[in-house]
Amino acid sequence: AQKITQTQPGMFVQEKEAVTLDCTYDTSDPSYGLFWYKQPSSGEMIFLIYQGSYDQQNATEGRYSLNFQKARKSANLVISASQLGDSAMYFCAMREGNTGNQFYFGTGTSLTVIP
């Protein structure tokens, strides 16, 4: 079974609108971390936001927020007030357990912001 599932290969959003990128995960480990990364066409992976499995509140970082629903094993990324520069690939990832050895990425969602 896939550890990280991103079901939206491509998404479009109007500039200044909000968009939600879906991510579900699969783990039986009680300790895990969830991440979102942005990858522009230049190739560099840019860390956006992190949510720990024991965190009570949803993580927020500026225009990014992570909608963490533990029982449903989902960790959707919400981008508010989309900007043209948000057009990129977005990857959901999970660190399982307490080591960096078990680190899994999804297949990504391509987001295009329309002016």
Gap between the Cα atoms of 12 and 52, Å rounded? 28
Residues in touch with another protein (CB under 8 A) = 4, 33, 35, 37, 42-47, 50, 52, 91, 93, 95, 98-101, 103-108
CB-nearer residue toward another protein: 16 or 40: 40
Query: Cβ of 48: how many Cβ atoms within 10 Å?
Result: 19
CB of 9 to another protein, least distance (A): 9
DSSP SS3 for 28: coil
Residues 6+ away with beta carbon under 8 Å from 56 = none
CB-nearer residue toward another protein: 74 or 107: 107
CB-nearer residue toward another protein: 101 or 115: 101
CB 2 within 8 A of CB 71: no
CB of 30 to another protein, least distance (A): 16
CB-nearer residue toward another protein: 64 or 103: 103
At 54, list the tokens.
Answer: 């024991």
